[in-house]
Amino acid sequence: MVNQEEKKEAIKPIIVPKYNENSDPKKRGFIQKLKQRKQEKKKKQELEDKGKKAKLLRQTPSILPFLQIHDDYILLKDGVMDIFQIESKDLYSRNDEDLKFLLMARSRFFRSYFESIKEVAMNFPSNTEKQKAYWRKKRERTDDPLRLKFIDRKLFELEFLEKERTNREFFLFVYADNVHQLEERKKQIIRGMQQSFPLKELSIEKKEDVLFMLNNPNTKL
């Protein structure tokens, strides 16, 4: 029988040599080429991604139909348009006769007007600048600690309303082929809705806000 010492001498450990890229010139050249290909592929992918992003940005103006905003109209790629704000009314506080009158007046308008219009409902932040200006003046004119505390509380409430609450506002989009045709349609619409829900003209800044909110629904002003 083979003793333990002979077994130890017979079984020799297998030593795996460490891999060295510089040991074989052929392997070293292959690895360098492989790394170079990976770098070139990465650069190519980055350039393609940049090209896609730039292309997307260039497509944005081609998607939107708006070109310029003027005082009385908005120039489109195919015609013109304008925006009015619809003065809403509290329908829950009115009796049945008032509701019937509003419904009949509105139905009469839609029966007489056949051109393209669009009604849009949007949520806008509450604007309490007039109320805050009023209480700031009151605060400058008093030294009473109790009154100052009351005014500060009012200002805090108004700031909270602007940050957390929104107003539901309604707008009417009027479309036409040219400016002259648009003016005629605007006069007809103003007369037709005067008895039900009158229209209010908007400033250029408000029109810009409406278009911005319309195309960016998840963004706050």
- Average pLDDT score, the chain: 80
User: Of 10-14, 132-136, 214-218, which one has max mean pLDDT?
Assistant: 132-136
Q: Tell me, what's the pLDDT at 19?
A: 47
Measure the CA–CA gap between 153 and 131, rounded to whole angstroms. 13
Q: Is the dihedral of CA 174, 179, 181, 184 positive or negative?
A: positive
Q: What is the mean pLDDT of residues 110-126?
A: 88
Q: Would strands 74-76 and 79-86 be described as parallel, antiparallel, or unpaired?
A: antiparallel
Query: What is the chain's alpha carbon radius of gyration, rounded to the nearest angstrom?
Result: 36
Provide the greatest CA pair distance for the chain.
120
* Model pTM score: 0.61
Q: Tell me, what's the pLDDT at 47?
A: 66
Q: What number of CA atoms fall less than 13 Å from residue 124's CA on the CB side?
A: 19
Q: What number of CA atoms fall less than 13 Å from residue 106's CA on the CB side?
A: 12
Whether residue 15 has pLDDT greater than 60: no
Name the 3-class secondary structure at 218.
Answer: coil
H-type alpha helices, the chain: 4-10, 25-63, 96-112, 129-140, 145-164, 179-192, 204-215
Q: Tell me, what's the pLDDT at 72?
A: 86
Q: Tell me, what's the pLDDT at 165?
A: 81
Could you read off the pLDDT of 177-213 as tens digits, one per residue?
999 999 999 999 999 998 888 999 998 888 988 888 8
Residue 25: pLDDT band with limits 50, 70, 90: low
Query: With b meaning 16 or more CB within 10 Å and e meaning fewer, what string describes 128-154?
Result: beeeeeebeeeeeeeeeeeeeeebeee
Higher-confidence position of 108 and 21: 108
